[in-house]
Amino acid sequence: MKKTIIFLLLSQIAFAQKLSKPELLEHIAKNICEELAKPGVDIHNDTAMGLFLLKNVGDYKDDVIYYFGTDGTIGIETMQRFGEEIGMRLAIECPDAFTALFTDEEANDTAYQTAFGRFDKIQNKQFLSFTIKENSGKTTEFYLLNDFESAYLLTDNQLKKNDVVELTYFESSLYDPKLKQFRIFNIVSFIEKK
């Protein structure tokens, strides 16, 4: 009988959560806010926020799994649910640091441009590239590096030679190992068949 009572008490202690869900979110949000408030921490850096979040998930792993986990582990779905709720809590606990993440100046520096012309050819090398001929006769090469809504026109070979297209792109300085230097590449972000 004594062993049964001890076993029941130990099992209750082992499975009991230390914090309620609101307490968990409050503790983690306060810990992250304290880390972000330390001198020398770049609050515009979402990587820093991610590291502080992961550290706290590790510190409160059992509670995070209990309240946000679906299968007893910390997977993508668990982190998405947890991230949404902790994000709302961070907006309350340290609004300046939270807002700074979304006003990163570097993210706003991308200058998008448009081009209009006839689709010429597609090349499948290390990255998919294609050229268009503008009405002026100028031929310009573009690269598909990111997924976007109409990328299937390129990936599924939906465009034929001389199809009229309009596209949005941005310029990016990337390292070319053949030339052993950085050069400007035109990165397509949207394409439309006219």
The per-residue pLDDT string of the chain (194 residues; one tens digit each, 9 = 90 and over) reads 444 444 433 444 444 457 888 888 888 888 888 887 888 777 666 676 777 778 877 888 888 888 887 666 667 777 777 878 887 787 778 877 767 666 654 444 568 888 999 999 888 887 899 999 988 889 999 999 988 888 899 999 899 999 999 999 999 888 888 888 889 999 999 999 98
Q: Are 52 and 58 in contact (CB under 8 A)?
A: no
Q: How big, in percent rounded to 5, are the helix, strand and coil portions of the chain?
A: 45, 25, 30
| Reported pTM | 0.45
CB 169: neighbour CB atoms within 10 A? 19
Q: Are 84 and 90 in contact (CB under 8 A)?
A: no
The confidence score (pLDDT) of residue 53 equals 78
**Helices in the chain by DSSP H: which ranges?**
2-15, 21-37, 46-59, 61-68, 76-93, 95-101, 152-155
CATH T-level assignment (fold) for domain 110-193: OB fold (Dihydrolipoamide Acetyltransferase, E2P) (2.40.50)
The confidence score (pLDDT) of residue 96 equals 76
